[in-house]
Amino acid sequence: MRRFFLAIKHFFTLRFKKGERLDLVYPISWETMSQEDFRNVCMILSKPHGRKEALFLCLCALAHIRPDNPIKYDQKAIKDNMVFIIGGKSYVITPKVIQESCHQLEYIFDEVGLAPCPLMKVDRKIFGLSFEQFYAADSYMLQYAADNNNEKWLKEAAKVLTNGATRKLLDWQKKGLVIWWNGVKKYMMKKYPYVLQEGESITDRTQTEILYDLLSVMNDNKPQDNDKILKSDVHSVFYTLNHIYYENAHK
């Protein structure tokens, strides 16, 4: 797992050791976040924090550092720096180091990536989901965006993805579901470009009409096979569709 290591020299510590080295360790992309990392970030993002404050809180959560009250320490030793508790010990860190570290986390606001799924037992890359589940969940997520972020559609998507096991979402899971699904769509677009290019070029048809078009490509003019296709693994269906569209594009 790729992580960002930032080595800093201790300016001050309650247990000072000359030449001691400290590494701040935190994920540098959605893809490198653990489930715990993602939950902590989404809990912060679900609150009304400004961008700078949210990035600072994310850094503290991801690097496992906690700001301490500087009044307890020698002001001459601290100067204009910040005091943090790291691993049970106190350290003085320069504002520049914190600023640079927060800059490394700006992908949280600026980039789409494949984060862990906020729903229990749902694979990050949606392996194990059926084509029907994927398409239904995607329809609900599109409804969420079109309906002024109406959270009832998030709940419907969660029910579909978990076969009805999830009927209530915590605030962090609501935020996480949107972030994760955007990453899923980007991942699927990269993995099966011919399928999603074909789908995105259709702007005047409903989701149901697009679904029937995809099924017609798969069922070889046998609509009785549609149910079997819908129940098939989503990656198997997309792999086949991608191959068909690729072959058609290169005839």
CB atoms within 10 A of CB 206: 10
Looking at the fold, whether 99 and 15 belong to one and the same domain comes out as yes
Conformational region of residue 31, where left means phi above 0, alpha means psi within -120 to 50, and beta covers everything else: alpha
* CA 48, chain centre distance (Å): 19
| pLDDT mean over 235-239 | 96
Averaged pLDDT for residues 194-209: 64
H runs (alpha helix) in the chain: 35-45, 51-63, 75-78, 95-104, 107-110, 131-146, 152-161, 171-191, 193-200, 207-218, 226-231, 234-249
Average pLDDT of the residues in 221-239: 93
Are 106 and 145 in a shared domain? Answer: no
Residues 135 and 241 in one domain: yes
Residue 128 region by backbone torsions, left for phi larger than 0, else alpha for psi between -120 and 50, else beta = left
Q: Per-residue confidence at 199, pLDDT binned at 50, 70, 90?
A: very low
**How confident is the model at residue 91, as a pLDDT?**
82
- What is the pLDDT, as a whole number, of residue 23? 76
pLDDT tens per residue, range 58-104: 999 999 999 987 667 667 667 788 888 888 888 888 888 899 999 99
The reply to whether 120 falls in a domain is no
Torsion of CA 36, 41, 45, 50, to 10 degrees: 160
Phi and psi torsions of 103, nearest 5°: -60, -35
Residue 16 lies in a domain: yes
102/12 same-domain check: yes
What's the pLDDT at 47? 97
In a domain, 116, yes or no: no
> Using 50, 70 and 90 to split pLDDT, how confident is the model at 12?
very low
Q: What is the pLDDT of residue 15?
A: 37
The residue from 110, 142, 167 where one domain ends is 110
Say what the alpha-carbon torsion angle 50, 36, 140, 163 is, to the nearest 10 degrees: -160
pLDDT tens profile 19-71: 566 778 899 999 999 999 999 999 999 999 999 999 999 999 999 999 987 66
Number of domains in the chain: 2
Sheet holding 82-86, edge to edge: 65-67, 82-86, 89-93
Q: Are residues 99 and 209 in the same domain?
A: no
Is 159 among the domain residues? yes
Are residues 239 and 195 both part of a single domain?
yes
Of 221 and 168, more confident: 168
pLDDT band at 16 (very low <50, low <70, confident <90, very high): very low
Please indicate, yes or no, whether residues 182 and 216 belong to a single structural domain of this protein.
Answer: yes
> What does the DSSP assignment read for 115-139?
PPPSSTT--TT-TT-BHHHHHHHHH
The pLDDT > 90 percentage for the chain reads 64
Q: Average pLDDT for residues 158-184, to the nearest whole number?
A: 97
Q: Are residues 197 and 104 in the same domain?
A: no
My answer on whether 141 and 99 are in the same domain is no
Give residue 1's pLDDT: 40
106 and 137 in a single domain? The answer is no
Is the same domain home to 21 and 59? yes
- What residue numbers bound the domain in which 174 lies? 131-249
Q: Is the model's pLDDT at 121 over the cut of 90?
A: yes
Look at residue 233 in the predicted model and tell me its pLDDT: 97
CA distance 226 to 49: 47
Residue 236 lies in a domain: yes
* pLDDT number for residue 82: 83
Res 211: pLDDT:
87
pLDDT value at 192 more than 90: yes
Q: What is the token pair recorded at 4?
A: 């960002």
Residues 76, 151 share a domain:
no
Global pTM value: 0.86
Q: Which residue has the higher pLDDT, 13 or 184?
A: 184
Boundary-marking domain end, from 78, 110, 142 = 110
The pLDDT, as a whole number, for residue 219 is 85
Q: Assess if residue 89 is contained within a domain.
A: yes
Task: Give the domain-ending residue among 75, 110, 145.
Answer: 110
- CB distance 143 to 61 below 8 Å: no
Asked if residues 39 and 120 have their Cβ atoms less than 8 Å apart, the reply is no
Asked, for residue 139, whether it belongs to a domain, the answer is yes
